[in-house]
Structure 1
Amino acid sequence: MSSIHVAQLVSNSQPSVLDIILGYTFMALGLLATLSYLGKISQPAFLNLTLGKLTFVSQTKGSLHKSSKRCIVDHINEEDKDCIILFGSQTGNAQDFSEKLAKEGSTRFGLRTMVADLNDYGYESLFKFPAEKVAIFVLSSYGEGEPTDNAVEFYEFITEDCPPFSLGAHAEAPLQHMRYAAFGLGNSTYENFNTVARSVSASLQRHGARLVGDLGEGDDAQATTENSFITWKESLWEELGRAMALEERKSNFEPSFIITELQSPAETTYLGEGVGKKLMGARNHFIDFPGPNKPSIVTLLRSKELFRSPDRNCVHLELDLMGTGLSYQTGDHAAIWPINADCEVDRFLRVFGLWEKRHTSFSVSSAKPTIKIPLPKTTSYDTAVRYYLEIAGPISRQSLATLAEFASDKFQKDALLNLSKDPGHFHKIVTSQLLNLAQLIETIGPGNVICAVPFAVILECVKPLKPRYYSISSSSLIQKSSLSCTVVVDSVQLQGRDFKGVASNYLLALKNQQNKEQPDAQNLTCGLMGHLDKYNLNLAIHIRHSSFKPPADTSRPILMIGPGTGVAPFRAFVQERAAQFKAGHSVGNSILFFGCRKSSEDFIYQDEWQGLQKILAGAFKLYTAFSRDTERKVYVQHLLMQHAAEVCSLLLEQNGYLYVCGDSLMARDVHTVLRELLCKESKLSMPEVDGSLKSMRNSGRLQEDVW
């Protein structure tokens, strides 16, 4: 029979359902083979065949391609734990809550708990999570409802429509045997409040997991996060008590860390400078900070004061990246690791009875293999307090309850317990006065020292010192081997004293020392051992990459709203556009709305804006609002209304990009004004305007960098 006859016979026959399924199967396999050969798919894929349904399941992220990270389920089983608490944390709050929750579950109910960084594990085998165990997620949201750096991979994995689980997962409900609880940390001034916790919880349930209790939510805007967490966890313990047959027991505090003082300093004792030049042989070594983002040492090239005010400061810094391996793109953030001020270090050491042995070396180890150590394994008390602990940060009520157990004085013990139990009293005495732990102890009396508190307990009551994030205010196109930061110095006048922000005042002190200016008596003294040496002013940083970027198409118009130091990334944006214009590129219009108090005091980069306007000619407009130059206060929101037609045209007719940078309250007000002016100018209904703004956000044409 000829091939023509065969073809005719096949074409005249009626294909069965099985023929169709097999035909599609072979076509799909052939396509996969072709793509694999061409390098379009790095890993194979498989076909999920069920009765009456053919499903193509991508395996590019997992399944046949197993994650190089440790399997979370294997680790739980190996450590014989029945409760794992996974955190997504940017500033340390979620991690701190997780550690306290694990501690309480262990001591109060006998749960075999462990705390885990979401970034440390692979989740392809999460569908094997044992039914008799429980996972608890403590997740922070930041920015536009984005996951924290250490939660990005897990978030992207679990929120997929079909997460790439390993072979063997149930097609419809892969997590049907898993039970979990979740608490989210967010800020209701953001449009996407607690998006990460809500999305993760919804995704887990969509894949079959069962939520124990309610989804807890803390709201930083209302300063109720800790109270909400305490209420949620008490409810959770009741739910878990029923689900896992837990019985509350009387418990004594068991330290998670073991401190052993050394008779003489070890060869590798950390004194703030990291591993040490003699071991690494280079200036730009890593500092030994815990966590996934290891900072590098950079040198302060130049610094200057930007404000012309006797009582306020704003610092411009330029940092040298040469030889560090660090690189950035316009719009990224610099994460600066601060150092605690001398006066606060001295106060803390004195209050806790460590003054006389501040330079005594000790080793620290974990009481359990699953607990991470927040310090170098060998260091000194001075170094630990100066470089690694958030001694000037907010106090938690839970920490006061723990410290009260070790207070040697009955008056102190009772005072600490009362503060830990009464939210209103705690707010009046501590929160409203911005007291740190050592300052609080000083106010309690009689006597200023709680000598009985072991340093191991202090490590659990005081959070690790975390980096502070600043928008990079230079263009990577212009400053390839250096970056600039613009930092307003935090200082709040209280009754009888000033509250000083840790990182901004540290950077102010660096600027003062570099320029041989008179330091503030309360500021950090820069003559420190460690990575600030007498020849160079060095500091520790890493880069956090951001999606806050100017459009790739330089011809697209952009509208930027950045009052105060919110203008920092826009300095970089406009610098970049000026360089592109000089290079012959087509550059779209750039409009900047900037606001500050007084044109004569805090109009930062005024000369630079004028120079950039000359370069870009009519392609760059600057609109300014000075709130205290006139009787009627004018803010950037008012400027937007004054230029409503221009704003509407740029966004809706020219398909321009909108960027907002600054504090969350300002961003919320700007959003309100934008809705009103777009509705009025475009004649669109409010729902249509909301739809347009949502579409802009989804497509990347509306971006916010807010705090």
Structure 2
Amino acid sequence: MAQVDTLDLVVLVALIVGTVAYFTKGSLWGVVKDPYATTYSTINGAKAGQTRDILQKMEETGKNCVIFYGSQTGTAEDYASRLAKEGSQRFGLKTILADLEDYDYDNLDKFPDDKLAVFVLATYGEGEPTDNAVDFFQFVSGEDVSFESGVPADEKPLSNMKYVTFGLGNNTYEHYNAVVRIVDTNLTKLGAKRIGTAGEGDDGAGTMEEDYLAWKEPMWKALAEEMGLEEREAVYEAAFEITEAPDMSPEDDTVYLGEPNQNHLEGSSQGPYHAHNPFIAPISESRELFNVKDRNCLHMEISLAGSNLTYQTGDHVAIWPTNAGKEVDRFLSVFGVADKRNSVIKVKPIDVTAKVPFPTPTTYDTIVRYHSEICGPVSRQFVSSLAPFAPDEASRAEIKRLGEDKDYFQERVASKYYNLAQALESITSQPFSSVPFSLLVEGIPKIQPRYYSISSSSLVQSDKVSVTAVVESIRVPGAHTVKGVTTNYLYSLKLKQEGDPNPDPHGLTYAITGPRNKYDGIHVPVHIRHSNFKLPSDPSKPIIMIGPGTGVAPFRGFIQERAALAAKGEKVGMTLLFFGCRNRNEDFMYKEEFEKYQSQLGDSLKIVTAFSRETSQKVYVQHRLREEAVLVNELLKQKANFYVCGDAANMAREVNVVLGQIIAEQRGLAPEKGEEIVKHMRTNGSYQEDVWS
């Protein structure tokens, strides 16, 4: 063997380090931090020169409570904002809201004992921190935590810190609320003192809001006792000053009408495109996948040409939705601003630490249509905050009762899936004209992009992503029909592409040409989110895929990629797909395509189907999985990767149980041993999930 000289060794080490860095993205937990997930304010230049020292920031602004948030979709940020507001109004705390990625943590050992730190942390995916919390999570959970003072971890460097924690999780995932639990454990280990219990909200059970409300009251009581706070009657104090600008017109080129940032407003939008700077992508093709009148499923091809956006098979595409015109009209009418919807307004923070959640100047219509989650679930706490502004005593009393009685709120509002405007309409026909618009800006979460598993292979079509989406329309008995915000928006785009000049699916209309008609020609704002849901690097390795309904989306991409590799002469391992739907003649999506791939891949592709409504006894993918126990076990012995995509609450949980049973039964093991093997598969990445509630 040739001798390796010093230069060769240096290059070799650099290559190894670089390779490891690429595949781990610096993660201790298999977390891939999305390189595109830079902040909204960065694209607008708002953070230039901002200090990364939170203690300095608190000192300069006179704050005694910092509320950090780790948020992926905006929910944790919303809860953090609510805590900040309530702490200020009820207890006189001087609060500052802080994005975890905006600050450093190595001086937290100097955190004053008369101040408070609050951590509101979502757990993302399989026990992972959100993109903006990765660095903090790795810092506080690392084995060699190092603070400025040099005090070692075992000598309690955070002994002065008092803190509060609330986690947002989903019990359908194995690592439920893992991030907040790990952070809480490590903060305590480092000497910090937690006030109250560590709160946990469960999105999987649909109890997030009530979990939060049940946690925060005893927390506030414990905090008041610990820090000597006195509760006072909560009176609304605006965080934003909203002024109308009669000298400005919506036609002015400085007024934002739905553009996400200044580059888009000026018509000079350019990359990099990411979670705060979308690419306005043309939809090159759209078609219907179902053969039934009362249900729709869309297949869309979205072009990335010219954007420099790249994706890998298994990634997600984020689609930025627009609220339906019908719901925008309802909201503006309920709050008494319909007649001035196009008036230009300026929004300015009253507190120097507050952030305006959208570009300004803008209009009432723009805020409601493009920036506010007006169709989302209603917060009981927020409804309660509207009581002082009710139009009459009867509606004020009703709102108070809704705010105080969770069972009554469940019966009257939550069980009917009302949005905020619908809930208020059910109380009175009079408008809530006295509600300060600033209260709505502060209290209604920002509308978030919706993420869809990409149903195409990047190897086959690198400059185009496919989306597979059922158009959501759910009839609530005795109430109304709930329409999916984004899927109906996409459906209207499909109808427009087919030649309908004024599409209004299900009576909904959308501003589908976008602000200032910038989306004309069938465009949609998108960005790419990278995922760990990936094919094995060796195509000869077998894979098992469980994908009922639209859960088949990423597996279409997987099979498409393997067929392309086989066409190139590469050896492709056994590719086993379990697909389920209601009826083979109604909603067997991609049936013809799968038949084509079957002819290309031959015996290396097997598709097992479950049609739940073709027999008196419903049959689902988990039943078919059990029937194929021998083959599944044999493939697992060959080190097959196992993938699940779809409903987390029922299907994914049952598949997990069935797989453990198959392993135990086929190998003659105790049931708990089969469960252990499945857990180990999850840990080493050979069992992967892309699931939703």
Q: In the TM superposition, what is the alpha-carbon distance from 1:679 to its structure 2 partner?
A: 0.9
| Aligned with residue 414 of structure 1, among 384, 392, 397 | 397
Query: How far apart are the structure 1 equivalents of 2:192 and 2:16?
Result: 30
Structure-2 change in CA distance of 1:591 and 1:37 (3 Å):
closer
1:268 aligns with 2:254: yes
Aligned to 1:294: 277
Aligned to 2:213: 230
Q: What is the DSSP-based 3-state SS (H/G/I as helix, E as strand, rest coil) of the residue aligned with 2:541?
A: coil
Summarize deviations over 1:90-125 as a string: whole Å, max 9, x none.
232221211111111111111111111122222232
Q: In the TM superposition, what is the alpha-carbon distance from 1:420 to its structure 2 partner?
A: 0.9
Aligned to 1:214: 197
| Aligned with residue 391 of structure 1, among 365, 370, 374 | 374
Aligned to 1:14: none
- 1:147-166 paired onto structure 2 within 5 Å: 147-166=129-148
Query: How far apart are the structure 1 equivalents of 2:12 and 2:394?
Result: 76
Query: How far apart are the structure 1 equivalents of 2:409 and 2:264?
Result: 48
Letter in 1 for 2:659: L
1:626 aligns with 2:608: no
Aligned to 2:646: 662
Query: How far apart are the structure 1 equivalents of 2:133 and 2:153?
Result: 25
Letter in 2 for 1:648: N
Summarize deviations over 1:354-373 as a string: whole Å, max 9, x none.
11111101111111122221
Summarize deviations over 1:168-223 as a string: whole Å, max 9, x none.
24342332322211111122222221111111111222222222111111122333
Q: In the TM superposition, what is the alpha-carbon distance from 1:132 to its structure 2 partner?
A: 2.1
Checking the alignment, whether the CA contact within 8 Å between 1:505 and 1:524 is kept in structure 2 is no
Q: What is the DSSP-based 3-state SS (H/G/I as helix, E as strand, rest coil) of the residue aligned with 2:287?
A: strand
Query: How far apart are the structure 2 equivalents of 1:539 and 1:152?
Result: 30
- 1:26-41 paired onto structure 2 within 5 Å: none
1:126 aligns with 2:108: yes
Checking the alignment, whether the CA contact within 8 Å between 2:325 and 2:510 is kept in structure 1 is yes
Checking the alignment, whether the CA contact within 8 Å between 2:287 and 2:298 is kept in structure 1 is yes
Letter in 1 for 2:640: G
Query: How far apart are the structure 2 equivalents of 1:78 and 1:635?
Result: 60
Aligned to 1:617: 602
- 1:380-459 paired onto structure 2 within 5 Å: 380-445=363-428, 447-459=429-441
Query: How far apart are the structure 2 equivalents of 1:456 and 1:223?
Result: 28
Structure-2 change in CA distance of 1:37 and 1:705 (3 Å):
closer
Q: What is the DSSP-based 3-state SS (H/G/I as helix, E as strand, rest coil) of the residue aligned with 2:515?
A: coil
Structure-2 change in CA distance of 1:503 and 1:299 (3 Å):
same
Q: In the TM superposition, what is the alpha-carbon distance from 1:526 to its structure 2 partner?
A: 4.4
Structure-2 change in CA distance of 1:247 and 1:276 (3 Å):
closer
Letter in 2 for 1:270: Y
1:635 aligns with 2:620: yes
Query: How far apart are the structure 2 equivalents of 1:677 and 1:342?
Result: 51
Query: How far apart are the structure 1 equivalents of 2:201 and 2:260?
Result: 36
Q: What is the DSSP-based 3-state SS (H/G/I as helix, E as strand, rest coil) of the residue aligned with 1:122?
A: coil
1:347 aligns with 2:330: yes
1:83 aligns with 2:65: yes
Checking the alignment, whether the CA contact within 8 Å between 2:80 and 2:97 is kept in structure 1 is yes
Q: In the TM superposition, what is the alpha-carbon distance from 1:597 to its structure 2 partner?
A: 0.5
1:549 aligns with 2:567: no
1:599 aligns with 2:584: yes
Checking the alignment, whether the CA contact within 8 Å between 2:109 and 2:149 is kept in structure 1 is no
Q: What is the DSSP-based 3-state SS (H/G/I as helix, E as strand, rest coil) of the residue aligned with 2:583?
A: coil
Checking the alignment, whether the CA contact within 8 Å between 2:157 and 2:191 is kept in structure 1 is yes
Query: How far apart are the structure 2 equivalents of 1:376 and 1:73?
Result: 28
Q: In the TM superposition, what is the alpha-carbon distance from 1:649 to its structure 2 partner?
A: 1.0
Aligned to 1:460: 442
Aligned to 1:335: 318
Aligned to 1:117: 99
Q: In the TM superposition, what is the alpha-carbon distance from 1:648 to its structure 2 partner?
A: 0.8
Letter in 1 for 2:552: V
1:326 aligns with 2:309: yes
1:142 aligns with 2:127: no
Q: What is the DSSP-based 3-state SS (H/G/I as helix, E as strand, rest coil) of the residue aligned with 1:294?
A: coil
Query: How far apart are the structure 2 equivalents of 1:278 and 1:251?
Result: 40
Q: What is the DSSP-based 3-state SS (H/G/I as helix, E as strand, rest coil) of the residue aligned with 2:338?
A: coil
Aligned to 1:105: 87
Structure-2 change in CA distance of 1:236 and 1:277 (3 Å):
closer
Query: How far apart are the structure 2 equivalents of 1:214 and 1:350?
Result: 42
Query: How far apart are the structure 2 equivalents of 1:72 and 1:531?
Result: 40
Query: How far apart are the structure 2 equivalents of 1:160 and 1:325?
Result: 35
Query: How far apart are the structure 2 equivalents of 1:280 and 1:543?
Result: 23
Normalising by the residue count of structure 2, what TM-score does the alignment of the two structures yield?
0.89
Q: Percent of pairs identical after alignment?
A: 46
1:178 aligns with 2:165: no
Summarize deviations over 1:43-98 as a string: whole Å, max 9, x none.
xxxxxxxxxxxxxxxxxxxxxxxx99813333233323211111122232221211
| Aligned with residue 346 of structure 2, among 350, 363, 378 | 363
Structure-2 change in CA distance of 1:41 and 1:178 (3 Å):
farther
Summarize deviations over 1:254-310 as a string: whole Å, max 9, x none.
0111101111135311112345789644465799xxx96332211111111111111
Query: How far apart are the structure 2 equivalents of 1:150 and 1:685?
Result: 42
Larger radius of gyration: 1
Query: How far apart are the structure 1 equivalents of 2:479 and 2:117?
Result: 47
1:678 aligns with 2:663: yes
Give the gaps of 5 or more residues in structure 1.
1-30, 43-66
| Aligned with residue 188 of structure 2, among 184, 196, 205 | 205
Q: What is the DSSP-based 3-state SS (H/G/I as helix, E as strand, rest coil) of the residue aligned with 2:204?
A: helix
Aligned to 1:490: 472
For the aligned residues, what is the CA RMSD? 2.5
Letter in 2 for 1:112: K
Aligned to 1:47: none
Letter in 2 for 1:267: D
Letter in 2 for 1:342: G
Aligned to 1:377: 360
Checking the alignment, whether the CA contact within 8 Å between 2:542 and 2:638 is kept in structure 1 is yes
Checking the alignment, whether the CA contact within 8 Å between 1:284 and 1:298 is kept in structure 2 is no
Question: Would you say how many aligned residue pairs link Structure 1 and Structure 2?
Answer: 647
Checking the alignment, whether the CA contact within 8 Å between 2:323 and 2:510 is kept in structure 1 is no
Query: How far apart are the structure 2 equivalents of 1:193 and 1:684?
Result: 27
Q: What is the DSSP-based 3-state SS (H/G/I as helix, E as strand, rest coil) of the residue aligned with 2:340?
A: coil
Aligned to 2:43: none
Structure-2 change in CA distance of 1:534 and 1:438 (3 Å):
same
Letter in 1 for 2:604: A
Checking the alignment, whether the CA contact within 8 Å between 2:242 and 2:346 is kept in structure 1 is yes
Q: In the TM superposition, what is the alpha-carbon distance from 1:527 to its structure 2 partner?
A: 5.0
Q: What is the DSSP-based 3-state SS (H/G/I as helix, E as strand, rest coil) of the residue aligned with 2:243?
A: strand
Q: What is the DSSP-based 3-state SS (H/G/I as helix, E as strand, rest coil) of the residue aligned with 2:475?
A: strand
Query: How far apart are the structure 2 equivalents of 1:401 and 1:209?
Result: 34
Aligned to 2:237: 254
Structure-2 change in CA distance of 1:69 and 1:701 (3 Å):
farther
Give the gaps of 5 or more residues in structure 2.
1-5, 18-48
Checking the alignment, whether the CA contact within 8 Å between 2:82 and 2:443 is kept in structure 1 is no
Checking the alignment, whether the CA contact within 8 Å between 2:391 and 2:430 is kept in structure 1 is no
Checking the alignment, whether the CA contact within 8 Å between 2:324 and 2:369 is kept in structure 1 is yes
Query: How far apart are the structure 1 equivalents of 2:592 and 2:185?
Result: 51
Summarize deviations over 1:431-468 as a string: whole Å, max 9, x none.
110101111121111x3311111211111221111111
Letter in 2 for 1:228: D
Aligned to 1:16: none
Q: What is the DSSP-based 3-state SS (H/G/I as helix, E as strand, rest coil) of the residue aligned with 1:593?
A: strand
Query: How far apart are the structure 2 equivalents of 1:550 and 1:278?
Result: 36
Query: How far apart are the structure 2 equivalents of 1:112 and 1:459?
Result: 20
Query: How far apart are the structure 1 equivalents of 2:645 and 2:516?
Result: 32
